[in-house]
Amino acid sequence: MDNNIPVVSKLFCSGTPTMLMIRRRPIVVNGGGFVVTDLNHNVVFVVDGCGILGSKSELMVKDGEGEPILFISRKMGRKDLTGGKDFYHVEVQAGYDQAFIIGVMAILDNINRESTRC
């Protein structure tokens, strides 16, 4: 019996282990971010860095077709209440799993050696 439950969608699941390659982009390309490809160099996910949407405090995660999955925005405004750069708003599009979003945020945080650094 198959006990696997898709986190986001069955479209993003494979019956076998899948190796994904993550490549950082320079800041001049869509504000930085990174591109995730499979071993055949097919784009699976894209993360556009800050500044691509006209705001220097937003990240956008897209699927391989370029469809937005989520936006990560730094909370702007009353820094004394939010703790400065430690508070973000995340808008999860309909049909996508919130646990996946938190996983993405944890990876980004770890890459930047923030609160999840090892």
| Tens-digit pLDDT string for the chain (118 aa) | 455 566 666 666 667 777 888 787 776 666 677 788 888 999 988 877 765 555 556 677 788 898 887 776 655 555 444 455 555 556 666 666 666 666 676 677 667 765 544 4
For the question of whether the overall pTM of this predicted structure is more than 0.85, the answer is no
Q: Are strands 20-24 and 33-38 parallel, antiparallel or unpaired?
A: antiparallel
Encoded amino acid at 100, one letter: F
The set of residues, in sequence order, having a beta carbon less than 8 Å from that of 67 and lying 6+ positions away, is none
CB 61 within 8 A of CB 69: yes
